[in-house]
Structure 1
Amino acid sequence: MMERIEARYWIETPFPVEKAASAMAGEQSSGTFVKVVGESEELTRRHAARVERIEQLESVAAPSLPVSGALGFVPAEYQRAFVTLSWPIENVGYHLQNVMATVAGNLFELSQFTGLRLLELGLPEAFYKKYVGPRHGVSGTRKLVSVSQRPMIGTIIKPSVGLSPKQTGKRVAELVEAGVDFIKDDELMGDPPHSPFEERVDAVMTVINELAQIQGRKAMYAFNVSGSIDEMLKRHDYVVSRGGTCVMASMNWVGMSGIETLATHSDVPIHGHRNGWGMFYRSPFMGVNYTVMQKIWRMLGVDHLHCNGLRNKFCESDESVVASAKACLDPLSGYGDRALPVISSGQWAGQASDTFESIGSPDLLYVCGGGIVGHPDGLKAGVNSVRSAWEAALQGVPLGEAMSASTDLQRAVEFFAKP
């Protein structure tokens, strides 16, 4: 039996669902709006996409997205359904870029739909043999930062922009001395005139290397190498030459080929930042589930994946955050390790217990920006508050009880837990 790619969608359409699903399959395989020369029955049988399943849902009176004038009629109602399509692997070969063009290409422009979202993607086993997957993942990152059981605790350089390399190095020294395991460039930082990339690497790694000799463990810093492919490889090499242990890339803007090339080349973990995700994932009526793209990024070699955090400062629900984190920790076929979920965005000590209870694993990178650097008693108190909260969470100790044993945690709750 021929191996097939399978994708599941939520759709909304003014047409009968079967007709709309057929249009999806035709548009993304051998069909067009009119029969053409060369479109033989044999070709169609061999290469056409197939409608595998239709699960009829409710109908609504108004469209979720604007209706195209090309319809030629005023719909009385709009049908919703789950639709599963499949394609023969020989249509695209074992290339993830072409897979995404197939399952998420022109479908979103079709006038037959007033809503369309890619929910799930299933791939033949051979894909997992071709793509390297995370080369460091959870276990490799734990080894590099010398943290074996609890979540790794991280933060972001703040202010986001404006600090010189010297100022950045000073802030990094303060954070490492305070006890953080991980620090990252803000995604807005790349190679700006006020902080040239190589000068920033020099300033940061000088203090990290010096403090590693004193502390007996080395903090990880994720330098944002995002740029052209040649720039990313050059920046990666410079980070490694200075003793750096992580690079970061803005996945949506670097793109699949950029990530694949960087991952193949990289000697250190790749910290995948998903900035821009809301354009693709926010609307329930249009776009691609983040868990679909997580699978793609993992296969291409990303080691750390941003997943947002509970009660975050953005629009994402806790349910969605938990699903993303669990998807990172769900092993993909044939890979030696999982991706490390990055829990961030408005996080502080107060979400630790709920995060552990919801995700069910300490294999996390728990990144607090203001939740550490904004602690009223300073950086060390900020780190201690988060660490104390996680120690309590892992031991099943209620937050109120943990507060009585940690002044830093108590002060964090008093300061951050405002209405």
Structure 2
Amino acid sequence: MTERIHASYWLETGADPRVAADVIAGEQSSGTFVALPNETPELKESSGARVERLRILGEVDGPSLPGGMRSNRYTQCELELSWPIENMGPSLPNLVSTIAGNLYELRQVSGLRLTGLRLPPSFAAAYPGPAFGIEGTRRLTGVSHGPVIGTIIKPSVGLSPEETARQVRELVMGGIDFIKDDELQADGPHCPFDERVRAVMRVVNEQADRTGKKAMVAFNLTGDLDQMRRRHDLVLAEGGTCVMAVLNSVGIVGLHELRRHSQLPIHGHRAGWGYLSRSPQLGWDYAPWQQIWRLAGADHLHVNGLANKFSESDESVIAAARAVLSPVMPEAPMPAMPVFSSGQTGLQAAPTYAALGCADLIHAAGGGIFGHPGGVAAGVDALREAWVAAIEGVPLEQHAMRHPALQAALGFWK
């Protein structure tokens, strides 16, 4: 039996829903805006997209998106389409053109969101997925239990390599597990990538020689393919244990090629996710989006955080994290590690753990660590102890009575 790709959508249309579904299926496979003599029934049967399911949800008076056809009523539906693998082969770039291409522009569409994706086994054979994931990240950070406690270099930009290294020295002496560049920090003349890596890794390696613990630093190597390969090789040569790429900036091909070259975990940053997702009537759900990036090779994926500084709800954050922790497809579990960040402190530890039921995650706090009145080391200790309390099921205030750093943190976290 032919392998098929299945994609699910939330659809709003001013046309007859069945007609709209057929138009979408035709546009994304063998059809066009007029009937062609060589689009035979046999060709449509072998290459056309199928409408697998169409369920009416309700009607609204006006369109969610501008520019579509005018109608007296707009119907909202759940739609599932499928395509034969022969249309594109197991190719992620061409998959995206098919499931999330011109269909968004059709005049019959007044709202459309990709909500689910099921891929056939040939994709697992074609794409290796994460090389390190949860297990490899724990091994390289030396964190066998609980979350990987992390932070972000702040200010995001403006520090020199030497100033960055001084901040890293303070963090590694404080016992941090994970540090990342901000996505805005790349290879500018004020803080060149090569100089930053060498300065930071001198500090990290010196601390590792003293204590046996090496902090993982995710250096932002986002760039063109040759730049990313060369920057990866420098990080590896200097003893680094992680690189970071901004996924929407480097694209699927960029990440896949980096994965083929990399000997280090790839920290996948989702900068730009809001323009794909913020409108509930347009774009992508996180679950299918992260599935593609995990197949392409991301070991870590950002999911925002509970009570974050952005617009995303807690329910959406947890759904995203659960998606990252779930098998990408039955033939390839490909575990990746969700990264919680954005306005995080120890106050989010207990609800995050309760919602996920595990601590296989990176919890990155910036101000929640740097703002501690006792300094960075106390901030790291406080965040770690908040997670101890969460995992042991002890109320935070009760646990803080035995841990002065946590007790002091409660005053400024709130």
CA distance in 2, matches of 1:46, 1:126: 18
- Corresponding residue for residue 64 of structure 1: 64
Alignment of 1:10-409 (within 5 A): 10-68=10-68, 71=69, 74-332=70-328, 333-335=330-332, 337-409=334-406
TM-score (norm 2): 0.98
User: How many percent identity over aligned positions?
Assistant: 53
Structure 1 residues 248 and 291: alpha-carbon distance in aligned structure 2, compared to 1, 3 A threshold = same
- For the aligned residue pairs, the C-alpha RMSD in angstroms reads 1.0
CA distance in 2, matches of 1:216, 1:244: 15
CA distance in 2, matches of 1:65, 1:375: 46
SS, match of residue 125 in structure 2: helix
Aligned residues: 413
The CA deviation string for residues 52-85 of structure 1, in whole angstroms up to 9 with x for no partner, is 00111010112111143xx3xx411110000000
**Do the aligned residues in 1 keep the contact of 2:165 with 2:200 (CA within 8 Å)?**
yes
CA distance in 1, matches of 2:116, 2:23: 19
CA distance in 1, matches of 2:205, 2:318: 35
CA distance in 2, matches of 1:83, 1:334: 25
> What amino acid maps onto 1:328 in structure 2?
V
SS, match of residue 354 in structure 1: helix
TM-score (norm 1): 0.97
CA drift of 1:336 comes to: 6.4
**Do the aligned residues in 1 keep the contact of 2:54 with 2:77 (CA within 8 Å)?**
yes
SS, match of residue 299 in structure 1: helix
**Do the aligned residues in 1 keep the contact of 2:133 with 2:336 (CA within 8 Å)?**
yes
Which deviates further from its counterpart, 80-89 or 336-345? 336-345
After TM superposition, where is structure 1 displaced by more than 2 Å over at least 4 residues in a row?
331-337
SS, match of residue 405 in structure 1: coil
> What amino acid maps onto 1:230 in structure 2?
D
CA distance in 2, matches of 1:381, 1:48: 61
CA distance in 2, matches of 1:269, 1:335: 18
- Corresponding residue for residue 410 of structure 1: 407
CA distance in 2, matches of 1:2, 1:227: 38
SS, match of residue 134 in structure 1: coil
CA distance in 2, matches of 1:331, 1:286: 26
CA distance in 2, matches of 1:41, 1:114: 29
CA distance in 2, matches of 1:118, 1:379: 42
> What amino acid maps onto 1:44 in structure 2?
K
CA distance in 2, matches of 1:82, 1:290: 17
SS, match of residue 30 in structure 1: coil
The CA deviation string for residues 366-391 of structure 1, in whole angstroms up to 9 with x for no partner, is 00011111222210111111011000
The CA deviation string for residues 124-162 of structure 1, in whole angstroms up to 9 with x for no partner, is 012112210111000000000101011000000011111
CA distance in 2, matches of 1:85, 1:360: 33
**Do the aligned residues in 1 keep the contact of 2:294 with 2:334 (CA within 8 Å)?**
no
**Do the aligned residues in 1 keep the contact of 2:326 with 2:333 (CA within 8 Å)?**
no
CA distance in 2, matches of 1:216, 1:64: 57
CA drift of 1:411 comes to: 2.0
CA distance in 2, matches of 1:337, 1:261: 18
> What amino acid maps onto 1:368 in structure 2?
A
CA distance in 1, matches of 2:156, 2:103: 38
**Do the aligned residues in 2 keep the contact of 1:139 with 1:337 (CA within 8 Å)?**
no
**Do the aligned residues in 2 keep the contact of 1:352 with 1:390 (CA within 8 Å)?**
yes
CA drift of 1:335 comes to: 3.8
CA distance in 2, matches of 1:86, 1:396: 45
CA distance in 1, matches of 2:324, 2:62: 36
CA distance in 2, matches of 1:56, 1:76: 17
**Do the aligned residues in 2 keep the contact of 1:136 with 1:337 (CA within 8 Å)?**
no
**Do the aligned residues in 1 keep the contact of 2:303 with 2:340 (CA within 8 Å)?**
yes
CA drift of 1:337 comes to: 4.4
**Do the aligned residues in 2 keep the contact of 1:157 with 1:184 (CA within 8 Å)?**
yes
The CA deviation string for residues 318-369 of structure 1, in whole angstroms up to 9 with x for no partner, is 1111111111111233446410110111101111000000011111100001
**Do the aligned residues in 1 keep the contact of 2:113 with 2:280 (CA within 8 Å)?**
yes
